[in-house]
Amino acid sequence: MNFFIFLSHPTYNIGGEIMEKRQESVIAVRKNGDDDIIELKLSNGQVVDYKEAQRMEKYRMIVNVNVFKGGDGEEHLRSNPDGDPTNNLDNLPQF
């Protein structure tokens, strides 16, 4: 017997976990004692760690951010430049 599951939204397989393809935005951040962003809160209420947010951006699941390679050779997450410093990740509300 075959079973089929039909989802109403396109999905992604990230790390073996099936996730719906919905584009969320970052609404708040959590920082550590060094003022580094360690977690991000998305518009759907989900809290993801920094590395997961990078993976999600690569699948275009988070809008208005991008992953870039910094001068240190590491990948970093940043807001898309739009001339408005108030929506930069470092300037978002903390939770």
Say whether pLDDT at 6 is over 70.
no
Query: How many CB atoms are located within 10 Å of the residue 52 CB?
Result: 17
What would the pLDDT profile of 39-63 be if each residue is shown by its tens digit? 999 999 999 999 999 999 999 999 9
Mean pLDDT of 3-16: 52
Q: Which of 11, 14, 16 is nearest to 54 (CA)?
A: 14
Delimit the domains of the chain by residue range: 23-91
pLDDT average, residue stretch 72-79: 97
Q: Model pTM?
A: 0.76
Share of the chain above pLDDT 70, in %: 78
Mean pLDDT (the chain, rounded): 87
